[in-house]
Structure 1
Amino acid sequence: MKKNKKLVIVGAGEFAAIAYEYFTYDSEYEVFGFAVNKDYIKEETYYDLPLVAVEELESHFPNNEYEAFVAIPASKLNQLRTEFYNELKSRGYKLATYVSSHAFVWRNVEIGDNCFIFENNTLQPFVKVKNNVILWSGNHIGHQSIIDNNVFVSSHVVISGYCHIGESCFLGVNSTFNDNTTIAPFSILGSGSLVNKSLEEENRVYIGSPAKMLPKLIAKKMKL
């Protein structure tokens, strides 16, 4: 694949390494470096590429030449990734999206920026994936469903038709949504859970089949 776009990856952890592999071997982007907060810089390079301070990003990778991708997973219920995303947008960077060549994405699917869609995802007609969303491997996103900003969908999640996933949710492995169900913003859905009716209270943890709220747990306080 011809490399005609320049990229800097924000992050230097496991997801950043994975993003480097996918962007390098399955996209039109060439990765030129990495960036983290200056307090976390212990080496000058990562993957033999420059590792620079986010605070000084423009002096190394100016926004008129480079796009950026924020490679931070679900830390703090997606809020750490969201903070970097908003900061870089405000500094004039275009945020890159990766869609695996081994994903099935129907022609009228809408995908926002700073999204990462791994292999074996199926996105059916009229699906909308908003900004800063991660779809790990092997998920099914049914027709007319909407995934709001800053969501993390782990693996082998089934989202049926006409569903709505609220902002900044985390969906555990093998969880399932029946048709026409929703989950409120800032929710955590446990692995293997079944959503057979809408979960409407925000900032909560839901588990089980059918999924029920754990009343003593606050989602934003959970370590992911």
Structure 2
Amino acid sequence: MQKQRKLVILGDSAFAEVAYECFTHDSDYEVVGFSVESAHLKRDELFGLPVVPFEDLEKHFQPGEVDFYAALVYSQLNRLRTRLYQEAKSRGYRAASYVSTRAFVWHNVQLGEHCFIFEDNTVQPFVRIGDNVVLWSGNHIGHHSTVEDHCFVASHAVISGFCTVGRSSFLGVNVALANNISIGADNWIGPGLTISADTEPGQLFKGESPAASKVSTKRFFRLKED
């Protein structure tokens, strides 16, 4: 695939390494470097490319010449990825997205910016995906459903038709949502759970029971109120 654009990846973790592989071998982006906040900078090179302080990004990669992708997972209930995405945009950089050529995304899907859609995802007609969303491998996003901004959906989740996944939520491996379900903002739904009724904002579901924990996600993750 011919390389037409340049990309800096924010982060140097395992996701950053995977993002490098995907952008390099399955997109028109050429990865030219990595960037990490100086407090977490532990190396100056990855895959033969420079790893530079995020605070000094403009000294190495100019806005308008290089796009970015913040390759971070669901840390702090997606807040870390969201913060770096928003800060890089505010500094004039353009957000990149990756959609695997091995994913099935119907032609009328509305896809926001700064999204990462791995292989074997099925995204059906009339779906809307917000900004800064990660769909890891093998998920099913049913027709007329919405995944709002800043969400992370782990592998092999099933979101049935006419569902809404609220802003900044996390769905674990093998989660299943029944038809016509609304998941509140800031929900954490642990692996293997089936949700068959609407949830409230800030609910935490873990273990083997689909009942919400008495502890809210904001308390569990020690998040400040928005």
CA-to-partner distance for each residue in 1:37-83, whole Å, 9 max, x for gaps?
11222222111101111111112111110000000100001000011
CA RMSD in angstroms, aligned pairs only: 1.3
Pairing of 1:113-132 with structure 2 (within 5 A):
113-132=113-132
Question: d(CA) in 1 for partners of 2:60 and 2:16?
Answer: 18
Q: 2:17 maps to what in 1?
A: 17
Identity of aligned residues (%): 47
Pairing of 1:1-224 with structure 2 (within 5 A):
1-200=1-200, 202-207=201-206, 211-215=210-214, 217-222=215-220
TM-score (norm 2): 0.94
The size of the alignment, in residue pairs, is 221
Q: Which runs of 5 or more residues in structure 1 are unaligned?
A: none
Q: Is the 8 A contact 1:140 1:156 kept in 2?
A: yes
How much does 1:112 deviate? Answer: 1.1
Question: d(CA) in 1 for partners of 2:43 and 2:169?
Answer: 33
Q: Which amino acid aligns with 1:147?
A: V
CA-to-partner distance for each residue in 1:103-151, whole Å, 9 max, x for gaps?
0000001111111000000000011111000000000000110000100
Question: d(CA) in 2 for partners of 1:116 and 1:64?
Answer: 21
How much does 1:195 deviate? Answer: 1.1
TM-score (norm 1): 0.95
Q: Which amino acid aligns with 1:51?
A: V
Question: Which range is displaced more, 166-175 or 35-44?
Answer: 35-44
Q: Is the 8 A contact 1:105 1:123 kept in 2?
A: yes
Question: d(CA) in 2 for partners of 1:58 and 1:170?
Answer: 32
Q: Which runs of 5 or more residues in structure 2 are unaligned?
A: 222-226
Q: Is the 8 A contact 1:186 1:219 kept in 2?
A: yes
Q: Which amino acid aligns with 1:219?
A: T
Question: d(CA) in 2 for partners of 1:14 and 1:205?
Answer: 26
How much does 1:208 deviate? Answer: 6.7
C-alpha distance 167-106 of structure 1, shift in aligned 2 (>3 A): same
How much does 1:99 deviate? Answer: 0.3
**3-state DSSP class of the match of 1:185?**
coil
